[in-house]
Amino acid sequence: MIALPLWLVPAAPLALILLFALPQARDALRSLLPLAALPALLAALAAPGPMPVQLDWLLLGAEFALNDTGAAFLFFTAVLWGLAGWQALRLLADDPHRDRFLACFLLAMSGNFGLLVAQDMASFYSFFSMMSLASWGLVLHGSGVAQRFAGKVYIAFAVVGEVALFAGLAMGAFATGDLALSAMAAEGVPPLAVALAAGGLLVKLGAVPLHLWLPLAHSAAPAPASAVLSGAMLKAGLFGLMIVLPLGDAPWPAAAAALAAMALAGLVLAPALGLVQGDPKSVLAYSSIGQMSLMALGLAAALAAPGSWTLIAPALVLLAILHAFAKASLFLGVPAVWASPRGATRRAVLLTLALPALALAGLPGTGGFFAKNALKTAIVDLPQGWMLWLVPALFLASLGTALLMIRALLLLGSAKRKPSVPADVLLPWFGLVLFSGVGLSLAPVNGVAPLSIKLSDFLPVVLAGTFALLALALARAAHLRFDPPTPGEILGLFRREPDPKPLPMLPPPPRRSRGLVLYRGRLRTTRPEQGSLAILGMTAALALFALLPTPTVEVTDHPSEITSP
């Protein structure tokens, strides 16, 4: 096999953008969009993996390499971006702003690929921000009210996350003097630095309470963009956390407790808030929060019991792969449902969609069950007290996911057909569902033990099904209708007051006496004499400042003697 240069992985989408500058070539280039993910896929599957690349002249000295975890992430990331890109081409075939979307899509794709191979802080941070900022364009694409709101919330969270990541990385780099990203997990890095960097990554991961942007963005973006947001980009947060957190070293109980609290909140909130949503994409987004919280729980467990990290890490990778494929299949399935008329086609599409849904819910026999079980068996040696709530939490996660999946499928089943959506959006979606089946066996993960199925493992799915049937029956019998709340959770409760209308200007009243009109008519802007005043003021202030702390130099001369040189 030809050795693939690793820099080609992020460079391929960028090259395509550069070529986009030629208007004549655009039509031909557009159809190449899915192929921009090909180098990444080849690099992920290559055995032996591509050689590391050292680029001393790039940024602060960049290094690209692909380790086992990176290869697993790059594998599903590449598949998702490729297939989502294909569907985006079909879905947006007649969109006037298609090229703007595709440019943002390619930029975010390059960022997502790049951060998985970047080994140093500067290039990781560059790719990470490129992905975050370019995704703003994906969220805003529809330019409706929902998109504007989602875009605002998204960019606010993204920028705050970036800044926290910057601060954390800068502090870490200074403490160790090492620009390698993995140095963040080394000894001697101040806990504040790790916390800041992790905070920035947790925003991307969608951990509660930093998740507010997530449901809004996912339901506002076009479906292929939601698929990569949820399937690939959230995982970038997980990937970063797996590197910067000091996992597998000494236990760090405080951080473990904080992360576990966030994860638990996510596991509870995701079904609670997701079930009441009226938009299937929003329901799917809440399910992503739950699933990502499950992965955060794995990280928390590894922080509490470092000994189990060697088992937890492959389990997390497996969970990430499974969630990526299943959730992306569901998101790409949304336009597929829109494109299919009610009747046999719709039923076939929904039945196919039930496969990834069941896998996510962890039905025994599916990959989802396998992955969840891997996590469950990996978490051992935990401190006293953790086990008390961990088992119920894992059960809750499965139950919540199953309920959310049923809700999403029900909403999709009753969705109206959109004649504007072309039928060929079905192809990439079907490709992904097929690939998901094969994909898990292809994915480069090792170190997970085989398992046996117990009858009790069916309990979450069965319970969820029963709940759903009961709820449906109840609603039908009592003639109840359900009105979903406004999106945005706490942010949705606020409305910005419209700007007050400017008052009509009144002419100033005639001047009668000076005493009453002391300040009227005075210009409120800077005036010339203020320049000299400001200089005087600053001189005085600086002099005062400088005189306050006694200078360390001895005062031996009187200042009046200075005139003689």
Partner 1 sequence: MSFFLPLAILMTSLGVAPVILMMPDSARRLRTGVNLAAASLKVALVAWLSYEVAHGTSFDLRHSIAQGLELHLQADALSVLFLALSSILWLLTTIYAVGYLEGGTDRSRFFGFFSLCVASTVGIAMAGNLFTFLVFFELLTLATWPLVVHRGTSEAHRAGRIYLAYTLGGGLALTLGTIWLYALAGEVAFEPRGVLGDIPETSPLALTAIFVLLIAGVGVKAALVPLHGWLPLSMVAPAPVSALLHAVAVVKAGAFGIMRIVYDVYGVETVQALGLAAPLAALAALTILWGSFRALTQDDLKKRLAYSTVSQVSYITLGVALISPVAAIGGLAHLVHQGIMKITLFLAAGNFAEGEGVKTVRAMDGMGKRMPGAMLAFTVGALGMIGIPPLAGFVSKWYLGAGGLDAGQPMVIALLAGSSLLNAAYFLPILYRGWFCAPPEGVTPGRRLGWMLAIPPATTATLVLAAGLLASAPFSPLGWTRFIVSLEYL
Rule CB under 8 A: is residue 542 a binding residue for partner 1? Answer: yes
**Nearer to partner 1 (CB atom), residue 365 or residue 531:** 531
* CA separation for the pair 517, 458 (Å, rounded): 83
Summary count for the chain: helices (H), strands (E): 20, 2
Q: What is the DSSP string of 331-374?
A: HHHHHHHHHSPTTHHHHHHHHHHHHHHHHHHT-TTSHHHHHHHH
Of 25, 261, 380, 534, the one binding partner 1 by CB under 8 A = 534
Which residues 91-130 are close enough to bind partner 1 by CB under 8 A? 100, 122-123, 125-126, 129
Q: Judged by CB under 8 A, does residue 554 bind partner 1?
A: yes
> What DSSP element (H or E) covers 237?
helix 234-244
**138, 164, 183, 432: residue in contact with partner 1 (rule CB under 8 A):** 164
Stretch that binds partner 1, among 35-43, 231-239, 423-431, 535-543 (CB under 8 A): 535-543
With contacts defined by CB under 8 A, name the span among 240-248, 356-364, 511-519, 544-552 that binds partner 1.
Answer: 544-552
In the numeric block, which tokens belong to residue 64?
Answer: 């690209």
Place of tokens 């506002």: 220
User: Tokens for 147?
Assistant: 């998109």
- For residues 70 and 394, give the distance between their C-alpha atoms in angstroms, rounded to a whole number: 26
Asked if residue 191 binds partner 1 (CB under 8 A), the reply is no
Q: Which of 79, 80, 107, 171 binds partner 1 (CB under 8 A)?
A: 171
Within 55-84, the residues that bind partner 1 by CB under 8 A are 56-61
For partner 1, which residue of 11, 160, 180, 382 counts as binding (CB under 8 A)? 160
Q: Is the CA virtual torsion 377, 378, 382, 386 positive or negative?
A: negative
* Near partner 1 in 2-61, by CB under 8 A: 56-61
Q: Does 549 bind partner 1 (CB under 8 A)?
A: yes
State the number of binding residues for partner 1 (CB under 8 A): 61
Between 508 and 528, name the residue whose CB sits nearer to partner 1. 528
Q: Which of 54, 143, 420, 466 touches partner 1 by CB under 8 A? A: 143
Q: Which span sits near partner 1 by CB under 8 A: 331-339, 434-442, 472-480, 540-548?
A: 540-548
**Binds partner 1 by CB under 8 A, chosen from 10, 50, 82, 151:** 151
- Sequence-ordered list of residues with C-beta below 8 angstroms from that of 453, at least 6 positions apart, any chain: 364, 365, 369
> Which residue's CB is nearer to partner 1, number 452 or number 552?
552
Taking alpha carbons only, the member of 83, 77, 48 closest to residue 65 is 48
Q: How far is the CB of 300 from partner 1 (least distance, A)?
A: 26
**347 is a site residue for partner 1 (CB under 8 A):** no
Closer of 61 and 365 to partner 1 (Cβ) = 61
User: Residue 268 and residue 543: Cα distance in Å, rounded?
Assistant: 59
Task: From 7-15, 276-284, 362-370, 541-549, give the range in contact with partner 1 by CB under 8 A.
Answer: 541-549
Angle at 324 between CA 83 and CA 255, to 5 degrees: 145
Measured distance CA(270)–CA(273) in Å, rounded: 6
Q: Among 63-71, 153-161, 303-311, 385-393, which window interacts with partner 1 (CB under 8 A)?
A: 153-161
Output phi, psi for 499, to 5 deg.
-60, 135
Spell out the residues 6+ positions from residue 495 whose beta carbon is closer than 8 angstroms to its own. none
Does 195 bind partner 1 (CB under 8 A)? Our answer is no
Query: Which of 174, 307, 387, 392 touches partner 1 (CB under 8 A)?
Result: 174
Q: Using CA atoms, how far apart are residues 301 and 380, in angstroms rounded to an integer? A: 9
Q: Which amino acid is at 351?
A: L
106 with 350: CB under 8 angstroms? no
Residue ranges that bind partner 1, judged by CB under 8 A: 56-61, 100, 122-123, 125-126, 129, 133, 137, 140, 143, 151, 155, 159-160, 162-164, 166-167, 170-171, 173-174, 525-532, 534-535, 537-539, 542-543, 545-547, 549-557, 559, 561-563, 565
